[in-house]
Structure 1
Amino acid sequence: MQATSVKLRNIELGTGRPKLAVPVTGKTEQAILDQAKAVKAAQPDVVEWRIDYFEGVTDAAKLTAMGQKLRTALGDLALLTTFRTAGEGGELALSDADYFGICQTVVDGGFTDALDVERYHAEDAVRQAVNAAHAQNVVVIMSNHDFDKTPAQTDIIRRLSEMVAVGADVAKIAVMPHTTEDVLTLLTATNQARQTLSQPLITMAMGDLGKVSRLAGEVFGSSLTFATVGAASAPGQISLDHLKGELDDLKLN
C-alpha cells in the first residue's frame, strides 16, 4: 500500500529518503537553547524536544514558555515534542493523569508541529490526546518502545496497526535486538506493515546490533530516523553528519 505522506512544517514523512530527527535533551532553559542552536546549525529535518529531561516539565507555565522560546529559536525547523515515560525509557515516572495533562499543555502551547503519544496507556485517554492534538492541527506520532526484547513479527505489525486504529498519523516502534534474527524480524515486520497500513511508519532496532535499521528505512519502509548532535537519547543513535552521508549512499534512484 502506498503510504499517505504526513506534512510536518516544511517536510513530508512517508516520501523519499527517511527524514532525520535530532533530540534536544537539556535540563535547563539555557541548556535547551544552547543545544537547539547547535542542532539547527547541523540542519536536520526535525528536532525532537525530549521534555522529560526538562526540569520545568511539570509546571504548565514553564513548559509553555520554554516551548515558545524553543519554537522561536528553531525558526522553520519542524518540532516534535516528546514526553517519554520511565516505563518506555524516559527520565521521569508520572501518573497517567499527569502524563496526559502534559500532553494537553504541549498541544495548547501552540509551539509544536507534532506530539509523541505513547500507545500503551488507557485507550480512552490515548484517543482523547489524539483528538486534542488534531483539534490544534498537531500531528500525532504514536509510539511504543520495548527495551527488553524484539517482539514477534506478528506482534510488531499488530502494535503498529493498533496505533493507526486509534488515530495515529504516524506509527512508531523501537525494539531491542539480541540476535541478528531480531533485526531481521523488525525489518521484515516494517516491510509487511507498510504494505497494509497507509500511514507512515517509524521503526528501529536499538543498540549497536540494530544500527543497520537506522540506515535502511528507505528500503524497508521507515520514514524517519534519529541521529545525534552531541548527546544521544537512545542506544545506537548515529551522529547526524555520518547518517546524512550514509542515507545518501543508500538512496533509491
Structure 2
Amino acid sequence: MERRSFMKQASRPLISALLDRTTADEYIASCVQASLDGADGMAIGLGSLKPEFRTREHLERIFACVPRPFYVFFYRSDRWIPENNQDEDARQKILLTAADAGAAMIDVMGDLYDPSPMEITRKPAAVRRQKALIKKIHDKGAEVVISSHMPLFRTYEETLDHLQSLAARGADLVKIVTSVDTPEELADALRTTILLKKTMKTPFIHLCNGKYAKFHRLMCPSLGTAMSFATVGYPLSPVPNQPRIQDLKTVIDTINRGAGPLEF
C-alpha cells in the first residue's frame, strides 16, 4: 500500500477525525463513517486499542480501510497495560510498528523521555533521544508531529517560544493544545493563531480546550492552524469541545468560499 501524506496537503486547512476505539473493526467502521463525513485524515489513539490489535497486521488493516492518511498517537494513557504509562520505550515500539504498517504521521510527545510541566522537555539528553526517534520514524517513511498539551492559558509569546523549541527537534509539524476559560483568553488565543501564521516557519497546530474552546476550534483552521480535529458524532468524541466533522467543514468552506482563503 502506498503511504499517504498529511504534509503534501498542508497548503489548505485539514480536518482529521479524532477517534478512540478498542478494536480494529470499531476503528474501521468509524473511519469509513468519518471519510463519508468529509474528513481529510484519521487520528487514532493506541491507548484504548486492545493489545491484541496493536500488531502490524491489524494496523495495516485499519490503515487500508479508507483512502486517507492516518495520524497515530500513544500518550501516557494505556487503558489495558497501565505500566506502559511509565514505559516510554514500550509505547514508542508500538508507534514504530504503526510506522512500519503504513501510518502517515506519528505523534512524538514534547516531553518524551522526561515527563515535564507543559509537556515539553528542555533537557539535552531527552531532546537528543527525541531527535533520534524522529529520524528513525522519518527513515521508515512516516511524517512526525511533536506535541504538547496543557490545561492552562498561554500567551502568544509563550506559545511561540514553545513551538519554536519543538520545531528545532526536526518534526514536520508542531502542535500545542492550551486552554481558554474566559472571553479575554479566547480573544488572545485567536490573536495568537493569527500571529503564529506570520512567524512560524514550520506548519503548526494551535488548538484550545476549556470553556470557550469550541469557538476557537471552529475558527482556527481559517486563521493558520494546519490541522484540526473533529468527531463523527458528539457522543463518540474523546474531547468535549470537539466539533463534528460536517460542522467544521461547513465553517471552513463558508469562510473561504468566493473570495478565496483569508490572508493574514
Cα separation, partners in 2 of 1:188 and 1:9, compared to 1, 3 Å: closer
Correspondences of 1:34-73 after superposition (within 5 Å): 34-56=29-51, 62-73=54-65
Q: Which deviates more, 197-206 or 179-188?
A: 179-188
Pair 1:159 & 2:162 matched: yes
Pair 1:12 & 2:9 matched: yes
Partner of 1:104: 96
Cα shift at 1:29: 2.3
Q: Once the two structures are aligned, what percentage of the paired residues are identical?
A: 18
**Aligned partners of 1:213, 1:117: CA distance in 2, in Å?**
24
- The alignment covers a number of residue pairs equal to 236
**Aligned partners of 1:155, 1:181: CA distance in 2, in Å?**
16
Contact in 1 for aligned 2:41/2:68 (Cα 8 Å): yes
Correspondences of 1:127-138 after superposition (within 5 Å): 127-138=131-142
**Aligned partners of 1:176, 1:51: CA distance in 2, in Å?**
24
Partner of 2:107: 116
Helix, strand or coil at the partner of 2:176: strand
Contact in 2 for aligned 1:207/1:235 (Cα 8 Å): no
- Which of the pair is proportionally richer in strand? 1
Contact in 2 for aligned 1:104/1:129 (Cα 8 Å): no
Under a length normalisation based on structure 1, what TM-score does the superposition of the two structures give?
0.84
Cα separation, partners in 2 of 1:10 and 1:142, compared to 1, 3 Å: closer
Contact in 2 for aligned 1:25/1:50 (Cα 8 Å): yes
Cα separation, partners in 2 of 1:119 and 1:237, compared to 1, 3 Å: same
For residues 186-233 of structure 1, the C-alpha deviation after alignment (integer angstroms, 9 at most, x for no partner) is 333333333222111111111441112212224431111111103112
For residues 22-81 of structure 1, the C-alpha deviation after alignment (integer angstroms, 9 at most, x for no partner) is 02211022222222222222231011111111011xx6x84322210011212x211111
**Aligned partners of 1:127, 1:183: CA distance in 2, in Å?**
33
Pair 1:244 & 2:236 matched: no
Cα shift at 1:11: 5.2
Cα separation, partners in 2 of 1:43 and 1:219, compared to 1, 3 Å: closer
Consecutive unaligned residues of structure 1, counting only runs of 5 or more, are 1-6
Pair 1:235 & 2:230 matched: no
**Aligned partners of 1:159, 1:9: CA distance in 2, in Å?**
22
Asked which structure has the greater RCO (Cα within 8 Å, sep 6+), the reply is 1
Under a length normalisation based on structure 2, what TM-score does the superposition of the two structures give?
0.81
Correspondences of 1:84-233 after superposition (within 5 Å): 84-86=75-77, 93-107=85-99, 109-121=100-112, 122-146=126-150, 148-230=151-233, 231-233=236-238
Helix, strand or coil at the partner of 2:152: coil
For residues 141-161 of structure 1, the C-alpha deviation after alignment (integer angstroms, 9 at most, x for no partner) is 111111x21123222111110
